[in-house]
Amino acid sequence: MNIHQETIVLRGHIIDSLLLAKVLDIILMMGGTFDIEDVRIGKTREEPSLARITVRASSPTLLNDILKSIQPHGASVEREADCRIEAAPADGIFPEDFYATTHLPTQIRLNGRWIDVEHIEMDVGIVVDQERATARAVPMGEVRRGDLIVTGREGVRVIPLSRPRERDVFGFMESHVSAERPHGHVIADVASRMNRLREQHRREGDGCRVLLAGGPAIIHAGGRDALTWLIEEEFIHVLFCGNALAAHDMEADLYGTSLGYGLTAGRTVPHGHEHHLRTINRIRAIGSIERAVTSGVVKNGIMAACVRKHVPVVMAGTIRDDGPLPGVITDSVQAQRAMRAAIDGVKLALLVASTLHAVATGNLLPATVPTVCADINPSVPTKLADRGSFQAVGLVMDAASFLSELARLLGRPA
C-alpha cells in the first residue's frame, strides 16, 4: 500500500493563531498529505479548539521527519493501541465482536506496528498470523476454529481513497446514477483506461487485468460480437458469468438463436425454446466448454474467444439454471471462493447487465479498483452503491450499446 500514516492531535487556540494552517502547510511543504478527521472549534473565545489530523507520507522516514517538524507546534501523536484479537470459537464462526471489514484499504496495529490487511474485501473478518505479523481478510465460512480474528474497532484503521492521478471519470469515485447523464465521456474514459491496461497486461501479465462480469442480456441485446471482439483483442482478461450467458452464447453459435429468438431474423423460430437446452446437453455430452471449442463444435463467440485467449471464466450457478453447463459452480460459497481467487491483479471491472453477478463481484473488489456498472435498469448501479461499492460509476444503458460503443472506441471496425 506504501502509505505511512499517523494521527496527530492539535489543541489550543489553533485557529486565530493560524497554528492549524501552519501545521497543515508544513505537512504539505514537506511532501506529505493530510486528512482532517475532526475539528472542534471552541464555542467561546476562551474555549480551546481541537483538530485530529491524519498525516500521510510515502516513506516512514518522511513521516518521521514531518512529525518531528510539527511536534514543536503542539501536534502530538494520538495514543494508539494494538488491535484486539480473539480465537474463533468454531469452524465457520467468528468471535462475537468480530471486526467487519469495508472494501477500503485497511491496516491493523499489531505489536506496535501498523500492517496492511491483505486481500481486503467488504463484509468479511480479519485473520491475524502473529508469527509472521501478517493479516488478511477472511470470509465467515472459511474461518477455522482457533484462528485469531480481529475484534472491536481499536487498532484498526481504514484509509480513505486518495484521488487517482488520472483525471478521468473515476477521479470522482462516487456513483451518480442517472439515465439522463450523457454516456459518451464515461465510455471514452473507460476505453482509454482499457487501452493502457492492455499494454500493461502485455508487459506484466496477470498482475494487471480487466474483469468483466456479465449477464445473458448481453447476448439477447446483441452485444455478443462486441464482447467477443474485446476478448479476442485482449482487452478483457477475466470473465465472471452464470450458466445463461455461456449457454446462450453457444446457442447462438450452434443455432443462430438466443433463447429461441433468431438473432438475425428477430423472431422466434420453431422449437427455438429448446435450443439452449440442446446446447447445454451437447456440451455436457462433450464434457467441457473447452473441449467443445478445441474440438471445433463451438467455433465462435464469447466462450470460444475465452478458450482461445486463455481468459479464465468463473461461472456461478443460480437456482433456476438449466443443466447446468459443465464448469458451472453450483455451490455459492465455492463460487465466491473461485471468484475471489480470480480477482488478484484486477485493475478495472466492468459489470454489465447482471444484478446478481454485479453485486457479488462488487462485494469482492477492493474500493481501489475502478468499477463501471452498465445496466438498462437503474436499480442495479444504485443497488451496487447502496451495498457499499461507492466507487462504481453507474451507466444506465443497454448492454449491447455499451459494449459496441466501447469496442468502437477501441478500434473495432464498424
Partner 1 sequence: MTRLLVCPPDFFGIEYEINPWMRLNNQVDHERAILQWNSLMAVFERDIGVTLERLTPVPGLPDLVFTANAGVVVGKTAVVSRFRHPERRREEACFEQWFRDHGYKILALEPGLFFEGAGDLLGFPDYWFGGYRQRSDIRVFPILSEWFHREIIPLELVDGRFYHLDTCFCPLSGGELLYFPAAFDRYGQTAIAERIPPTKRLVVPEQDALRFACNAVCIDTHVVLPAGCLMTERMLHERGYHTHAVPLDEFMKSGGSAKCLTLKLDE
**Which residues lie near partner 1 (CB under 8 A)?**
11-13, 16-19, 21-22, 45-46, 48, 72-74, 76
Reply yes or no: is the peptide bond before residue 378 cis, omega within 30 of 0.
no
Q: What nine digits make up the cell of 294? A: 478445441
Give how far Cα 236 sits from Cα of 211, 329, 382, Å: 6, 21, 25
Min dist. Cβ of residue 154 to partner 1 (A): 25
16-19, Cβ contacts within 8 angstroms, sequence gap of 24 or more:
19/73, 19/74
Considering only CA atoms, give the Rg of the chain: 25
Which CB atom, from 20 or from 292, has the smaller least distance to partner 1? 20
Q: Tell me the C-alpha distance between 378 and 380, whole Å.
A: 5
Which CB atom, from 2 or from 44, has the smaller least distance to partner 1? 44
Q: Tell me the C-alpha distance between 215 and 411, whole Å.
A: 24
Min dist. Cβ of residue 45 to partner 1 (A): 5
Which CB atom, from 20 or from 137, has the smaller least distance to partner 1? 20
Which CB atom, from 14 or from 128, has the smaller least distance to partner 1? 14
How many Å separate Cα 2 from the centre of its chain?
20
Which CB atom, from 31 or from 48, has the smaller least distance to partner 1? 48
Min dist. Cβ of residue 53 to partner 1 (A): 16
Q: Residue 398: count other Cβ atoms within 10 Å of its Cβ.
A: 19
Min dist. Cβ of residue 44 to partner 1 (A): 9
Min dist. Cβ of residue 109 to partner 1 (A): 25
Which CB atom, from 25 or from 82, has the smaller least distance to partner 1? 25
Query: For residue 246, which of 359, 327, 336, 311 has the smallest C-alpha distance?
Result: 327
Min dist. Cβ of residue 56 to partner 1 (A): 23
Concatenate the DSSP letters of all residues of 259-287 into one string.
TTEETTT-SB-TTGGGHHHHHHHHHHHHS
Which CB atom, from 16 or from 386, has the smaller least distance to partner 1? 16
Helix (H/G/I), strand (E/B), else coil: 51: strand
Which CB atom, from 16 or from 91, has the smaller least distance to partner 1? 16
Q: Tell me the C-alpha distance between 18 and 13, whole Å.
A: 9
CA dihedral 404, 202, 137, 382 (to 10 degrees): -10
Is the alpha carbon torsion for 132, 136, 141, 145 positive or negative?
A: positive
Q: Tell me the C-alpha distance between 134 and 111, whole Å.
A: 11
Min dist. Cβ of residue 334 to partner 1 (A): 57
Min dist. Cβ of residue 38 to partner 1 (A): 16
Residue with cell 451496487: 384
Is the separation of the CB atoms in 412 and 229 below 8 Å? yes
Which CB atom, from 49 or from 257, has the smaller least distance to partner 1? 49
Which CB atom, from 77 or from 161, has the smaller least distance to partner 1? 77
Min dist. Cβ of residue 34 to partner 1 (A): 17
Angle (nearest 5°) at CA 199 between 196 and 202: 150
Beta bridge partners of 371: 349, 392
Min dist. Cβ of residue 29 to partner 1 (A): 13
